[in-house]
Amino acid sequence: MKSKALFICQKCGFQSPKWVGKCNGCGEWNTFVEEIVQINQTKTSKPSVVFSRNVVPQKLSEFVSQNEERINTQNIEFNRVLGGGLVKGSLVLIGGEPGIGKSTLALQVALHLKNLKILYISGEESGQQIKLRAERLEIKNDLCYILTETALEEILLRIGELQPDLVIIDSIQTVFTEKIESSPGSVSQIRECTSLILRFAKENHLPFILIGHITKEGSIAGPKVLEHIVDTVLQFEGDQNQMYRILRSMKNRFGSTSELGIYEMRNTGLREVSNPSELLLSQFEEQYSGVAISASIEGVRPFLIEVQSLVGTSVYSTPQRSSTGFDIRRLNMLLAVLEKRVGFRLTSKDVFLNLAGGIRIDDTGIDLAVLCAVLSSDLDISIDKRICFAGEVGLSGEIRPVHRIEQRIGEAQKLGFQQIFISKYNQKGIDFSKFSIKVHFCSRVDEVFRNIFGKKK
């Protein structure tokens, strides 16, 4: 077997024979790491082995449609995000930052599954630590087995012996196969291990939950290819200091990606939150000026984001403008719109803008919330936190329609918001009667301002 050193981008899996600073695949800098790849091995992992010789082309019409067999995980939010339960033989990846509660979620699901044999494989924690966590969760399950092992060949052997109904691997970054020389956690290891697990899962009709760490940038560590291999990618997110956690589906071969599950981290584990507004209202006790919430979209994922602004009188002749997470040029443009349309005295004011959670947004649909946040701070009038916005703002102060408006409204409603301001040009072809949230259709920014801040400006 021939082995060869290759440089692989740790972000997207792009390969190069030489070290390069910038990846040609994804455009990232300094992501190349040298890894040893075996030439023969990559050949055997081609799908020709998975699909055996007796598979012949068949007419689509000859297939009998049948629903996938699903396991009810006894966790309503988890079931919902999976699209109605865990499909047998599927590979589910749960990604999230360290400490967010991935292991807790997985163990909780495992312990709640009565009458099914579960194998929880941990490469990060000892059996004792998992036992302590289980005690904290206060759930007992005699059919939950723990294995602390990281060698994939050994793991598959043990699975064969135990014949479980569900396998959880915590985490995929710790697992390694002997077939590859590079270290655990490297792109080629993660990719090869996941493909081997996928093949095993499909052949044995056995579902796997893989836990994956995410990098600082928020993507699942290891290459994007990992996301291509698995059937379902779930992201577990939330603020470490706040108690709520959101589980969202980013890819799902067996369900929709617009569902999300909400949990609250308690001393005794994760509590399912079936009525999200109860959670939001508790944070809503105080309202500050300078805050506006936008119903935004990144890719296909809708989410609500808090736009914070601070406006002050400038002590310098050139006012300061600062923006985190939002394009500064766009901010300047929006401020010019404010000056022209609302009489905001641009030249004498410092404006600071921040998107909560350190997130970066390119969606122009947050324009309206940015303007409202700035004006709210300037007037020192807070905006009711149950109101949100989704609209792009044009140079003449018109509110332009945004894409996926139904998803944005749906998410706002799901999260407990009561009113949303959108462009009146978003009205076409959508049945708004299905929403219980109040939708305001506006054509100009001053209309919104009048509605929110009264006649003051």
Question: Which positions lie near ligand TYD, rule CB under 6 A?
Answer: 96, 98-104, 133, 136-137, 265, 267-269
Least Cβ distance, residue 169 to Mg ion (angstroms): 11
Where does residue 18 rank: exposed (0-12), middle (13-18), buried (19+ CB within 10 A)? Answer: exposed
Site for Mg ion contains 103 (CB under 5 A): yes
What span, in angstroms and rounded, lies between the C-alpha atoms of 12 and 15? 9
Size of the site for Mg ion (CB under 5 A): 1
- What does 365 bind: Mg ion, ligand TYD, none (CB cut-off 5 to 8 Å by kind)? none
Residue with smaller CB distance to Mg ion, 106 or 291: 106
Q: Which residues within the stretch 231-260 sit at the binding site for Mg ion (CB under 5 A)?
A: none
Residue with smaller CB distance to Mg ion, 48 or 268: 268
Least Cβ distance, residue 101 to Mg ion (angstroms): 8
Where does residue 209 rank: exposed (0-12), middle (13-18), buried (19+ CB within 10 A)? Answer: buried
- What does 158 bind: ligand TYD, Mg ion, none (CB cut-off 5 to 8 Å by kind)? none
Residue with smaller CB distance to ligand TYD, 94 or 119: 94
Within 8 A by CB and 6+ apart from 69, the residues are 87, 88
Residue nearest to Mg ion (CB): 103
Least Cβ distance, residue 69 to ligand TYD (angstroms): 28
- What does 96 bind: Mg ion, ligand TYD, none (CB cut-off 5 to 8 Å by kind)? ligand TYD
Least Cβ distance, residue 245 to Mg ion (angstroms): 14
- What does 429 bind: ligand TYD, Mg ion, none (CB cut-off 5 to 8 Å by kind)? none
Distances (CA, A) of 411 to 277, 301, 369, 392: 12, 10, 16, 18
Least Cβ distance, residue 100 to Mg ion (angstroms): 9
What span, in angstroms and rounded, lies between the C-alpha atoms of 441 and 432? 11
Collapsing DSSP to helix, strand or coil, 345 comes out as coil
Where does residue 194 rank: exposed (0-12), middle (13-18), buried (19+ CB within 10 A)? Answer: buried
Collapsing DSSP to helix, strand or coil, 322 comes out as strand
What span, in angstroms and rounded, lies between the C-alpha atoms of 98 and 201? 26
Residue with smaller CB distance to Mg ion, 92 or 402: 92
Asked if 358 and 392 count as a contact pair (C-beta separation under 8 A), the reply is: no
Residue with smaller CB distance to ligand TYD, 21 or 99: 99
What span, in angstroms and rounded, lies between the C-alpha atoms of 313 and 325? 23
What span, in angstroms and rounded, lies between the C-alpha atoms of 222 and 9? 9
What span, in angstroms and rounded, lies between the C-alpha atoms of 407 and 422? 13
Least Cβ distance, residue 120 to Mg ion (angstroms): 11
Task: Name residue 8's beta-bridge partners.
Answer: 15, 33
Least Cβ distance, residue 175 to ligand TYD (angstroms): 15
Q: Specify the stretch interacting with Mg ion by CB under 5 A; choose among 2-10, 37-45, 100-108, 374-382.
A: 100-108
Least Cβ distance, residue 103 to Mg ion (angstroms): 3
What is the CB neighbour count within 10 angstroms for residue 216? Answer: 8
Residue with smaller CB distance to Mg ion, 103 or 219: 103
Residue with smaller CB distance to Mg ion, 174 or 289: 174
Residue with smaller CB distance to Mg ion, 103 or 413: 103
- What does 376 bind: Mg ion, ligand TYD, none (CB cut-off 5 to 8 Å by kind)? none
- What does 251 bind: Mg ion, ligand TYD, none (CB cut-off 5 to 8 Å by kind)? none
- What does 313 bind: ligand TYD, Mg ion, none (CB cut-off 5 to 8 Å by kind)? none
- What does 101 bind: ligand TYD, Mg ion, none (CB cut-off 5 to 8 Å by kind)? ligand TYD
Residue with smaller CB distance to ligand TYD, 245 or 408: 245
**156: phi then psi, degrees, rounded to nearest 5:** -65, -35
Least Cβ distance, residue 54 to ligand TYD (angstroms): 42
Distance of CA 121 to the CA centre of its chain: 24
Count each helix (H run) and each strand (E run) in the chain, helices first: 12, 23
Binding site for Mg ion (CB under 5 A): 103
